[in-house]
Structure formats: structure tokens, C-alpha cells
Amino acid sequence: MPKKRRGLVLAAPASDSGKTLVSLGLGAALAARGEAVQYFKCGPDFIDPTLHQLVSGRVSRNLDLAMCGDAFVRQTFARHSTADFVIVEGVMGLFDGGAASTAALARALQLPVLLVVDGSACAESSAALVHGFESFDPALAVSGVIFNRVGSAGHYRLLKESVEAHCRATVVGGIPRHEDFLVPGRHLGLHMGQDGVLFPERLRRIGALVASHLDFARLRAAAALLSDPPGLEAAEDESSIPSRVRIGVARDAAFCFYYEDNLDLLRAAGAELVFFSPLADSRLPPDLAGLYLGGGYPELHGATLAANRSLREQIRSRAAAGLPVYGECGGFIYLCEAVRTADGAEYPMAGVFPVRARMRERLVRLGYCRARVGANTLWPAGLELAGHEFHYSETEPMPASIPRAYILDDGREEGYCLHNTLAGYLHLHLGATPEAARHFVEFCRGHARKGEGRG
């Protein structure tokens, strides 16, 4: 008899409640008991999904109602929630973000909420907080509470008894303060899964700590039984694609911000994705019809990227010869002449665009954007694309002679076009616009037929 699959949304009253570390510990504890775990992440965050994958061994998908819409989010969840236990990690506080909040996602997926509450500075008052979250939205089921940063067994008893006396939610555990739950951050959030900060032994200890302070029976009771919704669309039939188009994708510690669904949409449109490392590879893979340079941390690896002169020069010459190149955020920085770090060091980059990027101490831009495509480029003219910005850098003013591809919903012009290179700070999610992926692949196919930009 197959296992009954269960799922829940892991949320918190506010940011910095320890949600991500509790999420990782919960998944590690379940995995240690032989459960297959599948993660999803609410919102546009690139970082937490890499940490999720360390625990589960499975790709963690972003579920973003603002960028992708309700139908795509529900289909993505149904298609990939095949594990024994599914954890959807929320963003910020439960109700923060309006129509794109964790609460909105929980309602769209019809999942209950497990609330992570920082118990470090309260006792009986925790019941008032939990009761408020239970009653704020009657359509939302706050089915369980897990306390974090608990001071002692006596402290946990006060927290638990108060919630059980005044609230509907069940208390599933209380995690004590522990040094393994202290993970250093940096300017875009926690360290990535590739960075080694949460190496396997540390994750095992975090999982063991959570497991020793968790009531698994209550956890399962707080979760929902999962079933695929009716009318789930089947995956696209790829048998009619005449030939695959080889598109190089930069992927390493410097270029690691990609939505897996974007990559899947490109594959479904006919792309053969060929991964390479601007940190380690001196040459591009052969026979490429296009390049995709995603976001990441080029500024942290400036010396290594600069030292790889042969690849920088090859990308510059291929772009000048007409190879279709798309770069976003970190990929855009790499396509500039140089990047200057916050401490004043400057490193040469590929030099496709005649401007320098400079890192700032404070966040330059953060938020969702809609981008209307002006002219036919790598994306089709007239299409409205959904994305978000999150960056600590800015570039020198781009020369007016270089066309702008987008008009953003706040009136700014973005997306810089030179030859067949299109780049800017906007991170796009193509879930709501799969036709953009098809257009990009066909654009690359057309230039491959002409033999432009190859070599």
C-alpha cells in the first residue's frame, strides 16, 4: 500500500524567526526517518531552494503568485509534490506581501500552516500571538505551531500549555537555542547551498536536534493529505521538435540564480542546455546557438573571473559577432567592462557593454516588476514579462545610443540591447509567459542557421 503523502506550509509571524533553519532541520529529521522530502519556496528567493536541495536531494521549486499566477503555481505544485512529505517554506511574515503572501499561497494550494514562533522573549503571551494569526483570516488553517529558540524545558512547558489552553493549533515541538542554528548571512541573504556553510554533517546535527524536540505524530496530524487536483495539464509533447538548439548556461558559484522552471520551459521549447563555468572553463562549449548568464555573485569571485581572460574575450567577441546572449543581474554585471567592489577593488569583466558596475553598501532596488517588451529582440515585442529586482550594485549611465528593451511598470527603461545581447538587472520568471521561452529558442535557432556568432 503506497504511503499517504502529506504537506504543509511552514510560515512565521515575521522575518528572522528562524523559519529557514527550522525548515531545513524538519526536512533533515524526516529524511533521517526514511521519508522522501520535497521542498517548495514561496516567492522569488533563489537562495533557500539551494539549501533545500542539500537536505532533500531534490530540486526545490519557487511558487510565486505575483510572477506566475495561480494556475501555473498550482500545476507546478501538483506536478512536483510527489514525495512522502512536502514542505512549502514561506517568505517574511505569514500575511506580508498581500496577493503574493505566504497566506495567499497556502489558500491557493489549500494547505494548512505550521507557524514557526520565536519563543525567546515571551512565555504565556505566545498564545495571544498564535490566536491572532488563527483568527486574522478564517479561510486559513493554522494547524500547528513549532517554537524556536526555546530557553529550557520549563520555558517550553509555559509556551505549550498557554497555546493549548487558548488556541486551536497543536504544538508540535520546541527547538532550543543552538549554535548550529546560527548561520552567517551576506548581502543577498543566507549563504547558498554550494558554499559549504551547511555541510552534510552540520545538517545531520540540525536534523537530529529537531527530531529530538519534535512530536512526529502531531506533525503528521497538522499536515494535509495530498492528492493531485483534477484537470492537471500534461507535460508538453516534445516529439515534434525538429532539432535541439544548444544554449550555454553559466552555472557555478558566481552564477547560481536560476529558476528551474525557466530551464524546463527552455528545454520544452527545444533547447539543449549546456552548462559551463565562467570560473573554471577557459572556453565556451562548442556549437552554441545562444548564451544564458544568470544572476549570482560575480563580485565575490571577481579575481577569478578576471583571471579567466580567454573566456571573457571569447564571450565579448561572440557577442559582437551576433551570438544571442541573455544576462540578468549578475550576468549583466559580467557583461559590463568591470565591477568595482564595495571595498574599492576593481576587476575587468567581459566588456560587452561600455559601462562599469559598482557594489553599494545598501540595497539599491528590491521588488516585483512588470516589463513591457518594446521591440522584437530575444523576447517578442508587446509581451509583458514578470520579474523582480534585488541588487546591491548599480552601473554607470548607459549611453543613450544603446537601445532599451523594456518599459517597466514604474516608467523606467531597462533591458539593454547591443548586437543580439540583451541584459539588465531584472530577474524574469517565464512561468506565466511560456511563449517567451519559445521565442528565445527560435531566435537562437534562426541565428544558428545563419551561422552568426558561432566559433
Q: What is the pLDDT of residue 373?
A: 97
Q: What is the pLDDT of residue 186?
A: 45
* Predicted TM-score of the model (pTM): 0.92
Same fold, 7-225 and 245-450: yes
Q: What is the pLDDT of residue 242?
A: 64
Contact 71, 432 (CB under 8 A): no
Length of the chain: 455
Q: What is the pLDDT of residue 351?
A: 97
pLDDT tens digits, residue range 119-168?
999 999 999 999 999 999 999 999 999 999 999 999 999 999 999 999 99
Q: What is the pLDDT of residue 250?
A: 98
Q: What is the pLDDT of residue 247?
A: 98
- The residues, ordered by sequence, that sit 6+ positions from 195 with a Cβ below 8 Å of its Cβ are 253
CATH fold of 245-450 reads Rossmann fold (3.40.50)
Contact 59, 39 (CB under 8 A): no
Residue 148 burial class via C-beta count within 10 angstroms: exposed 0-12, middle 13-18, buried 19 and up:
buried
> Which grid cell sits at 210?
529537531
Euclidean distance between CA atoms 214 and 191, whole angstroms: 26
Euclidean distance between CA atoms 298 and 305, whole angstroms: 8
Return the half-sphere exposure (C-beta side, CA atoms, 13 A cut-off) of residue 359: 20
Q: What is the pLDDT of residue 188?
A: 44
Active site residue 329: yes
Percent of the chain with pLDDT over 90: 82
> Which grid cell sits at 294?
544568470
CATH fold of 7-225 reads Rossmann fold (3.40.50)
What is the DSSP-derived secondary structure letter of residue 92?
Answer: S
Residues of the chain with pLDDT under 70: 1-2, 180-198, 228-242, 452-455
Euclidean distance between CA atoms 55 and 29, whole angstroms: 9
Question: CA triplet 278, 279, 280: central angle to 5 degrees?
Answer: 95
Domain boundaries, the chain: 7-225, 245-450
E-strand ranges in 374-434 read 384-391, 393-395, 404-408, 413-418, 421-424, 427-429
Euclidean distance between CA atoms 338 and 326, whole angstroms: 18
- Choose the catalytic residue: 68, 329, 369, 417: 329
